Amino acid sequence: MTKLKIGVLGIQGDFLEHLHILSALNVDTKIVKYADEIEDVQGLIIPGGESTTIDRLMDDEFRESIVDAARKGMPIFGTCAGAIMLAKKIHDAKEWQRPLGLIDIEIKRNAYGRQRDSFDAVINIPSLGTIIRAVFIRAPEIINIGPKVKELANFEELPVLVQENNILVSTFHPELSANPSVHRYFLTFVRSN
């Protein structure tokens, strides 16, 4: 049996924080910087950062590798900017932005304001049986979800953690919380894949 290895997209953003939390959960990790490295992992995390920068740095081969892996069932987890990249539609996209379109959500970039408007809040995640201190940094807002998208948690009546099949996204940064429940949940469905 192949040992579980989780890739964290390492072209921009807070990928190191994801590596730390996965390490604390005793999971092998790999920083993914090239398209062919996706074949070496059983799950992929696209971290927070600058969605426009990640978009520009991701060439067509990289995009195709991620989309192909997702369509073959690889679990993918996007946080903050990663959620923007995985969305079907970006409400306020730059004209050149190309989301990967892997989860049926419409998302609005920087919905909560600038960096100085960042905040944290305690949210309940009933399906995981936990509460978590959610850190929102220039967070996007999910403004519409498709019929097959499952809302796992909300904040002020807006979805902040959603899943459609093998794609999980959060508008907050669970890697900055002391509670590893969201990552543990992601690992559960990676293992069952």
Which residue do the tokens 């009546």 mark?
Answer: 157
Token pair in block for residue 111: 């919905």
50 given a catalytic annotation: no
Catalytic residue (choose from 80, 141, 164, 183): 80
17 given a catalytic annotation: no
Catalytic residue (choose from 18, 141, 175, 183): 175
80 given a catalytic annotation: yes
Q: What is the DSSP string of 38-107?
A: GGG-SEEEE-SS-HHHHHHH--HHHHHHHHHHHHTT--EEEETHHHHHHEEEETT--TT------EEEEE
Question: What type of residue is 162?
Answer: V
Report the C-alpha gap between 136 and 174 in whole angstroms.
9
Catalytic residue (choose from 18, 141, 164, 173): 173
Which residue do the tokens 């499952």 mark?
Answer: 150
Instruction: Choose among 127, 129, 79, 66: nearest CA to 107.
Output: 79
| Angle formed by the axes of helices 181-191 and 15-24, nearest 10° | 80
Q: Which residues are catalytic?
A: 80, 173, 175
